[in-house]
């Protein structure tokens, strides 16, 4: 049966996180998935139908950010009856690390790994009323296929004033994402915010264009 795609769009939203929240898994036993998300709970679809997800967001001004403050796009991979700690996830966004905002992508199959690249400030950010730099970005996670097989690619996307895409910057290829999609796996998709610091007030992030998710439909 031929397939068409259906796109679901969630309008602009604001999401806040208290201190001591995170999404991170590190041996021998650290496993945390406590960051607030929108929607909550994350709407799920069969993994084999997922095609892409896109969102954009802006963090508070840099002087208000704490070490490891972060926000972005979360894909949470689960299936019915899965033992605790065997879920998988991918998060991509901006993370504040040693006084600098970076584009951050973390993939978690068994354990999490982390990569960061510099944030292109002039074209992917805005300023607050008092002139402080507010880190922001538009990100997309997309199913792709080449001659070797299928994978999930993460991109930073630049658009012009009319909203037309002008540049797509590759950030990460995730090869495990669709390896078991025929075995009942589902994926929940949404925005997330986390403030791992133990102290401080709430971290509030604006997702100005909402969330866009594309799936296959019969």
Q: What is the mean pLDDT of residues 196-200?
A: 95
Q: How far apart are alpha carbons 154 and 32 in whole angstroms? A: 23
Q: Give the domain 4-217 fold.
A: Jelly Rolls (2.60.120)
Q: How far apart are alpha carbons 212 and 169 in whole angstroms? A: 18
pLDDT over 70 (residue 52): yes
Q: Break the chain into its structural domains and give their ranges.
A: 4-217
More confident residue, 193 or 125: 193
**Tens of pLDDT, residues 94-109:** 999 999 999 999 999 9
Report CA torsion sign: 185, 190, 53, 74.
negative
Q: What is the mean pLDDT of residues 22-36?
A: 96
Those residues with Cβ within 8 angstroms of residue 1's Cβ, 6 or more apart along the chain or in another chain:
218
pLDDT over 90 (residue 31): yes
Supply 167's token pair. 């540049």
Q: How far apart are alpha carbons 32 and 200 in whole angstroms? A: 19
Coil, strand or helix at 11: coil
Q: What is the mean pLDDT of residues 22-49?
A: 96
The fraction of the chain above a pLDDT of 70, given in percent, is: 94
The pLDDT value given to residue 123: 44
Closest CA to 55 of 17, 91, 102: 91
pLDDT over 70 (residue 130): no
Those residues with Cβ within 8 angstroms of residue 201's Cβ, 6 or more apart along the chain or in another chain:
19
- Band (162; pLDDT cuts 50, 70, 90): confident
Q: What is the largest CA-CA distance in the chain?
A: 56
The pLDDT value given to residue 136: 96
pTM, rounded to two decimals: 0.93
Q: How far apart are alpha carbons 56 and 182 in whole angstroms? A: 30
Q: How far apart are alpha carbons 29 and 174 in whole angstroms? A: 23
The pLDDT value given to residue 45: 94
**Tens of pLDDT, residues 12-25:** 999 999 999 999 99
- Band (183; pLDDT cuts 50, 70, 90): confident
pLDDT over 80 (residue 54): yes
Q: What is the mean pLDDT of residues 87-91?
A: 97
The pLDDT value given to residue 121: 63
- Band (218; pLDDT cuts 50, 70, 90): low
Q: What is the mean pLDDT of residues 144-169?
A: 91
Supply 195's token pair. 């403030």
């Amino acid at each position: 049966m031929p397939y068409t795609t259906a796109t679901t769009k969630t309008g602009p939203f604001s999401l806040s996180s208290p201190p001591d929240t995170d999404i991170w898994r590190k041996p021998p036993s650290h496993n945390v998935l406590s960051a607030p998300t929108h929607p909550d709970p994350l709407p799920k679809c069969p993994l084999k139908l997922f095609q892409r997800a896109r969102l954009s967001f802006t963090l508070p001004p840099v002087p208000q950010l704490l070490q490891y403050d972060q926000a972005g796009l979360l894909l949470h991979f689960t299936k019915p009856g899965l033992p605790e700690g065997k879920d998988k996830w991918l998060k991509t966004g901006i993370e504040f690390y040693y006084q600098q905002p970076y584009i951050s992508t973390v993939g978690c199959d068994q354990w999490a790994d982390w990569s960061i690249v510099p944030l292109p400030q002039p074209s992917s950010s805005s300023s607050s009323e008092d002139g402080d730099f507010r880190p922001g970005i538009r990100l997309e996670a997309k199913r792709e296929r080449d001659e070797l097989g299928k994978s999930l690619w993460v991109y930073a996307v630049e658009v012009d004033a009319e909203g037309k895409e002008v540049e797509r910057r590759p950030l990460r290829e995730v090869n495990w994402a669709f390896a078991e999609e025929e075995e009942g796996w589902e994926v929940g998709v949404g925005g997330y915010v986390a403030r791992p610091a133990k102290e401080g007030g709430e971290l509030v992030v604006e997702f100005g264009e909402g969330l866009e998710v594309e799936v296959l439909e019969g």
